[in-house]
Amino acid sequence: KHRVLSGMQPSADSLHLGNYLGALVNWVRMQDEYDAIFFIPDLHAITVPQDPAELARRTRVTAAQYIAGGVDINKCTLFVQSQVPEHAQLAWVLGCITGFGEASRMIQFKDKSLQHGSDHASVGLFTYPILQAADILLYQPHGVPVGEDQRQHIELSRDLAQRFNSRYGETFQVPEAFIQKESAKIYDLQNPTAKMSKSAESPAGLINLLDDPKVTAKRIKSAVTDTETEIRFDREAKPGVSNLLSIYSSISGLSVDKIVADYQGKMYGHLKVDLAELVASHLGPIRDRANELLADPAELDRLLAHGADKAREIASATLTDVYAKVGFLPYG
Ligand code: TYM
């Protein structure tokens, strides 16, 4: 089996629908076909300030949502990044073969440092993509399923793998980015040309997995559309309606064309009411299951520690090889 690996930051109280439809649903589909590794990048989360108790809580909440959303720990490996020290260790080595200019070209850093002000941006935020490369290369995956926004980071991982291989000899698998199709990209309900994101200005455009279904229904019903009345898919001219249609399609499994045909002659309000219902009934069981898992944090921690043990077996083999190739003395 080919191996795939991916992760989602524990940086909010809930995953949003973009994380769910753009990433998690796809992971769940992949775990049957691939040797799948999923993790929670908590080391990445502290590149911006985090309240310690909050971070711990969010890490568990994120893990619970992975599992509630269908990640099956009997089929894949699920772990928390900070419990596998090899990530930070390999990141150091990779940092030493990354050019300063190369790291400076990473757009996510540019965006975030603009947002927070470059004086407040940490060195950790700057080296973030190098840690991400370490996350990936430690496990020698064939593919990394991510959204379009992560493409540049996967490119850097590929470059670093090739550079290390050519300098020190064949060591790393050069990973492919498995970029989700455009239809899996979910936009903000209030600002439908921007991707749905936890860092949005207002929460009104977000659909969170763990929100009260009434809140979710209200947000869908207040989603920004346009002044026309026709329900059709056109990302350019009708981003709001198109976003609702692609959410509908992703959740129901029906094609956008079929949905458009079904809503011929109906009003936006009809579509919104039905979509609110569909989303609530789909997310309800996930929310319940996540809350059940969170009611027993000790058991959740035990599952994650087991995942970390499995991950370390792979990660430590790669790191041992890397250290030897670099010229570090063998230990023990
Ligand atoms: P993160 O936590 O921002 O996002 C996790 C995944 O969700 C996708 N995504 C979306 N997809 C569709 N619509 C949206 N509105 C939307 N918002 C987010 C992202 O593309 C991503 O696939 N740097 C990574 C985390 C990471 C990682 C890794 C990923 C750290 N190490 C190693 C893969 C491999 C990040 O911040 O993703």
DSSP string, 268-283: HHHHHHHHHHHHHHHH
- Distance between Cα 11 and ligand 1 center (Å): 11
Cβ of 7 closer than 6 Å to ligand 1, yes or no, is yes
Cβ of 146 closer than 6 Å to ligand 1, yes or no, is yes
Residue located nearest, by CA, to atom 27 of ligand 1: 7
**Residue 238 catalytic?**
no
Amino acid 108: pLDDT: 82
Place of tokens 């949502």: 65
Cβ of 44 closer than 6 Å to ligand 1, yes or no, is yes
CA distances in angstroms from 321 to 34, 40, 159, 167, 314, listed in the order given? 24, 25, 19, 14, 11
CA angle 176, 70, 29 (to 5 degrees): 40
Cβ of 175 closer than 6 Å to ligand 1, yes or no, is no
Nearest-10 crossing angle of helices 268-294, 297-326: 90
0.90 cut: is pTM over it? yes
Amino acid 110: pLDDT: 80
Amino acid 295: pLDDT: 98
**Residue 198 catalytic?**
yes
Cβ of 185 closer than 6 Å to ligand 1, yes or no, is yes
Q: Is-contact 290 58, C-beta < 8 A?
A: no
Amino acid 183: pLDDT: 65
Per 3-state DSSP, what percentage of the chain is helix, strand, and coil (rounded to 5)?
60, 10, 35
Cβ of 8 closer than 6 Å to ligand 1, yes or no, is yes
Nearest by Cα to 69 from 304, 295, 288: 288
Which residue among the candidates 75, 198, 310, 325 is catalytic per the annotation?
198
Place of tokens 């009934």: 281
Please report, in range form, the residues annotated as the binding site for ATP: 9-11, 18-19, 147-149, 186, 195-199
pLDDT in tens, the chain (332 residues): 999 999 999 988 899 999 999 899 999 999 999 999 999 999 999 999 999 999 999 999 999 999 999 999 999 999 999 999 999 999 999 999 999 999 999 988 888 777 767 677 899 999 999 999 999 999 999 999 998 889 999 999 999 999 999 999 999 999 999 987 766 789 999 999 999 998 888 899 999 999 999 999 999 999 999 999 999 999 999 999 999 999 999 999 999 999 999 999 999 999 999 999 999 999 999 999 999 999 999 999 999 999 999 999 999 999 999 999 999 999 87
Mutate to test the pocket of ligand 1, among 3, 4, 5, 9 (most ligand atoms within 8 A of CB): 9
Residue located nearest, by CA, to atom 5 of ligand 1: 8
Residue located nearest, by CA, to atom 9 of ligand 1: 19
Residue 89: both structure tokens together: 């260790």
H runs (alpha helix) in 81-122: 86-95, 100-104, 107-116
Q: Which amino acid is at 195?
A: K
Residue located nearest, by CA, to atom 18 of ligand 1: 19
